[in-house]
Chains A and B, each alone.
Chain A
Amino acid sequence: MSFDSNTPPGPLAEKWSRYRGTMNLVAPNNKRRIEIIIVGTGLAGASAAATLGELGYKVKCFTFHDSPRRAHSIAAQGGINAAKNYANDGDSVYRLFYDTIKGGDYRSRESNVYRLAEVSRNIIDQAVAQGVPFARDYGGLLDNRSFGGVQVSRTFYARGQTGQQLLLGAYQALSRQIAEGNVEMYNRHEMLDLVLVDGKARGIIVRNLLTGELERHAAHCVVLGTGGYGNVFYLSTNAMNCNVTAAWRATRRGAYMANPCFTQIHPTCIPQSGDYQSKLTLMSESLRNDGRVWVPKKQEDAKAIREGKKTGNDIPEEERDYFLERRYPAFGNLVPRDVASRAAKVACDEGLGVAPTGLAVFLDFEAAFMRYGQSKAHSTGLHNPSSAQVRELGVKVIEEKYGNLFEMYEKINGEDPYKMPMKIYPAVHYTMGGLWVDYNLETNIPGLFAIGECNFSDHGANRLGASALMQGLADGYFVLPYTIGQFLSQDIRTPKFDPNAKEFLDTEKDTRERLEKMMNVKGNQSVESFHRRLGKIMWDYCGMSRNADGLKKARKMIQELREEFYKDVFIPGSMNDYNPELEKAQRVADFFELGELMVVDALDRNESCGGHFREEYQSEEGEALRNDEDYAYVSAWEYKGWDQDPVLHKEDLVFENIELKTRSYK
C-alpha cells in the first residue's frame, strides 16, 4: 500500500494553486457515470456531498441520524477562523498557517495546513452567499473576535451557534442537490463495514436502523466524513451517538490510523455533577475573551467553597490566583486549550478546586461587566454613574455577546452566572488523530478518502479554537472536490460495481456474524456499563496527563474489559428491528479496539506535545517538553487484529518554512 504524503513540489505558497491548475480532471459526461459514496453529513460530509453533486457526480450520502441536519457539527458554538484580515490587525494566510502549526505543537504537515489557511477566505464568502447570518457591526460588515493561541481577531461567528448556522448552510446546499436528483440521501443508515475490490475502496455495508436490514452499496470511491472518536472516553462534549465505527472498520480493512493519542481536552466545560451523567456540556472558548480564570490562593477558602460555606464572591481580590494571567502573561486567559486545561488540572490537584467534587475552577466576568459598562456609560453620555449602574450596563453588553451561553449554563447548573462566577472544568472535546491521509485527503487504501475531524491532517497535537469548522468546510467545499478527480480520472472507463459481487457478499456476511456474536452473548451487564468503565480507564490513564506505567496498566485493563464484554454483555431486543442498544453495542466494541491503540500510541510517543502530556517529559515549570529529534513524525498505525501488536509506520514531518521552536505563550 502506498504511504507517501504526495505533497506537490514548489514553494509553499504556490503548491496548491499550481497543483490545482495541473491536476487531472473528469469531464462532465464521465462525471454523470461515476458514483461516490459519502458517509456522514456534518460540515465536511454535507459540504462535500453538495459540491460533488453540483459538479455532476452521482452521489449517495449516508447518515445514521434521522436527518442530515442533526450531525454534531451543529453543536459548535464559538466560530470559524479565516485569514480575511478585515480587522486590519496584521492577519494573513501565512500568519494563520503559522499559528496553526505552532498551536499544533509542530506535529502537522506544512503543505496541508498552508492550503487550509489559503482556502479559509473562500469559506466565509461561500457561507455568506448561502445566507449564513454571521454577526455584523453597525456598518453592516462582518464582525470578528479572538480565540485562544492567537493575537489577532480572525474568528467569524453567529452568536454562540456558529456550527449550527454553517451546518444549516451546508444542509440546505445538500437539500438542493437531493431535490435535483444528484444526491441520493439515506437517513437512518449506519456504515458497518468497508468493501474492497482489488485493494480499492468500492463500497460499504450499512444497517438500516429502522428495520435492522443489512444493505450493500457500491460506488467508484468512498468518502468518510464521520467525525471524531472523543466518546471513547464515555464522558465528553460529543453528542451521544458520535462514534468511531466507520473509521475503525476502515482501519480494520487496512487504512492507517494516525496519531490516535492526540485528543483535545477543552478547558471550559460545565463540571460533572453525578455518576449517572452521560454527557458533558461545553462553554465556548469565546468566553475566555472576556472571562478571567481563577482559583482561591488558600486551600481553606477552596474548601469552604466546596462545602458551600462561601461562594466565589466572598473571596477578596487579593486572595484570588488568576493563574493563567500569572503563568502566561503574553496570552493570559487566551492561551491554547491544552495549556489552559493542564493549568486547571494542576490547580485542582493542589486542592484549590471549587466544586463539591474538587474538580472546577472559576470563570469570572466581573471585570468585563465593569469594563464594558464604563465604556457604554461613556458612549451614552452618562456622567458619574454609580458602580451598580455601570455593572448593569456591562451585563447588557455581555448578554448581547454571550446571552445564549449564559442561559445554557444556568439551565444546567441552576446558578445565575450574571451574579456568580461560572464553574468550569476541562472535558474531552475533539480528536486531532484520525485516519491517515495524503495531500489529496486519500487514505493509504486507494479510493478511500477521509475529511473533517475523521482525518488527522491539519491540527497536529492540539487544535486551535474555531479551526474545526474551518477544516471541515475547507475539506468538503474546496479541497476534496478537486483532489478526488486525481483518483476518479483513472476510473472513467470503469463500469458500475455490482453490489452482488463476492466481495460485497463476503463483507456483509462478516458484518452479520459480528452482530450475531454480540446478540448471542446474552450476559448480564448493559452496554452502557461497559462503555462507562472503558471511559474511566481512558480518562484516568490516557487523559490530560499520561505516564508509561499507567499506560501499560491501561492496556491490560482494556484487554480484560473487552474479554468480559464478549462474555457478559446483554443486548435486549432483536437484530431485525429498530434497536438502539445494538447500535450502541457495536460502537462500544469498536471503542475497545481503538482505545487500546490510543494507549499504544501514547506509550510510543516518549515526549510531551500539545494534548499529549507525558509526565516523564516536562520542564521544571511543568511545561511540555517536546522531542523533535526523535518524534517529529506522524504515527500511522496498521492494525493487525486484536491479538497482535499494531505496526507503526512513520511519516517524517519536514519543516521547510517554519523553524521548530519551544512553544511558549509566556
Chain B
Amino acid sequence: MKLTLKIWRQKSPKDKGRFETYQVEASPHMSFLEMLDVLNEELISKKEEPVTFEHDCREGICGTCGLVINGQPHGPNKGTATCQLHMRFYKDGDIIVIEPYRASAFPALKDLAVDRSAFDRIIQAGGYISVSTGAPQDGNAIPIEKDQAAHAFDAAACIGCGACVAACPNASAMLFVSAKVSHLALLPQGKVEARRRAQAMVKQMDAEGFGMCSNITACEVECPKEISVTNIARLNREYLSASLGSEV
C-alpha cells in the first residue's frame, strides 16, 4: 500500500519545527514502527537524516515509544502501544499525520522524541515503599485477598509512556500518578506510607508543570494499558484524607 506521511521534523529543542511530507510503500504485515524503519532506510539511502523516534522493546511493555498518530497518542486502536499497531489497520492511499507528544512538562528533543524525565522525578518524590534490601518477613506472612492483589496489579501495569499526558487537553499527569498511588495503597505493605506518598507525588507533579485534572477521561481512552480513571478517584481520596486527616 502507498501511504502519505506528514511527520513533525524538529532539529533540536530550540528549532521551531515543521511538518514534512513523505511517501512510503508499506505492507499490511508490517508494524507501524517497521513502516517508519522502511522510511528511514530510504532517507538514509538518499543521504538524508532519518526521522528520530524513540522505541525499544517493540512489544508494548517498555513504554519508550509513543507517537501521536492522526491526533491520537499511540494511534487508533484501544489498549495498544504504537509499537503494537499494525499496518493492516490502514489502507492504500491513507494520509497519516505523525507528531510528538505536546506538553510543556515533556520538552521537545528532536523530531518525534520528547523528554519524559518528569515522570522519574515524580516516582523519586515518593512512588515506592521504603524498604531496604535485607530480610523482610516471609512472602506469605501477609495474605492479600486475590481481588485486591488483582486491582493493585491493574494499576501497576502502567508503562510510564506518557500517553495520558499527551491525550489530556490540560496535559495533566493524574492518571500516571494515580496509578502508582493506587498500586501501592491497595497493598498492605504500601498502606503504611500511603498518605505521605500521595502528598509528595502530587506536589512534585505540580512542580513539573503538568496541568490540572478536569475529569475529561481522555487519558483512560488512550492508555495502552487501559489504566482506569477510578485510580484518579482513589488518588483524590488519598490526597484529601492526607490533607485533612489528623495525625492522632
Contacts and interface: CB of A to CB of B under 8 A. Distances in A.
A172 B128 contact: yes
Given A276-B37, A581-B44, A175 B120 contact: yes
A84 B49 CA distance: 54
A69 interface: yes
B230 interface: no
Interface string A119-133: 000101111111101
A130 B124 contact: no
A158 B61 CA distance: 14
B52 interface: yes
Interface string B35-69: 00110010111011110101111111111100000
A640 B190 CA distance: 52
A515 interface: no
Nearest to A524: B45
B119 interface: yes
Contacts of A577: 12
B124 A175 contact: yes
Interface stretch (B90-98, B140-148, B214-222): B140-148
Interface string A48-65: 001100100000000001
Contact of A50 (B48, B113, B133, B145): B133
| Most chain A CB neighbours (cut-off 10 Å) among B62, B120, B146 | B62
Contact of B130 (A127, A134, A138, A176): A176
A65 B41 contact: no
Interface in A221-267: 239-241
B125 interface: yes
Contact of A69 (B29, B48, B59, B63): B63
Nearest to A578: B110
Given A75-B57, A84-B139, A175-B123, A66 B115 contact: yes
Contact of B153 (A54, A159, A407): A159
Given A175-B128, A239-B62, A578-B109, A138 B133 contact: no
Given A75-B62, A128-B136, A129-B136, A276 B152 contact: no
B1 interface: no
B139 A128 contact: yes
A381 interface: no
Contacts of A168: 156
A136 B144 CA distance: 7
A481 B132 CA distance: 12
B59 A281 contact: yes
B127 A70 contact: no
B171 interface: no
Interface residues of B, number: 77
B44 A67 contact: no
B129 A129 contact: yes
A545 interface: no
Contact of A66 (B64, B136, B142, B183): B64
A572 B50 contact: yes
Given A68-B120, A69-B160, A130 B44 contact: no
Nearest to A273: B29
A72 interface: yes
A66 B146 CA distance: 35
Contacts of A172: 123, 127-129
Given A75-B57, A274-B27, A526-B41, A131 B117 contact: no
B5 interface: no
Contacts of B146: 136-138, 140
Contacts of B120: 67-69, 175, 185, 187
B244 interface: no
Contacts of B246: none
A28 interface: no
A509 B178 CA distance: 47
B187 interface: yes
B184 interface: yes
Given A70-B62, A140-B144, A129 B57 contact: no
Interface string A478-511: 1001000000000000000000000000000000
B185 to A, nearest CB: 10
B3 interface: no
Nearest to B145: A140
Interface in B183-240: 183-184, 187, 189-190
Report the 5 A-B pairs with minimum CB-CB distance, sorted nearest first: A140-B143, A172-B128, A129-B136, A133-B153, A179-B124
20 contacts: A67-B117, A69-B63, A72-B57, A75-B61, A128-B189, A131-B129, A131-B190, A133-B149, A134-B149, A140-B146, A142-B139, A158-B153, A173-B128, A239-B58, A277-B34, A528-B37, A529-B41, A572-B44, A572-B49, A578-B109
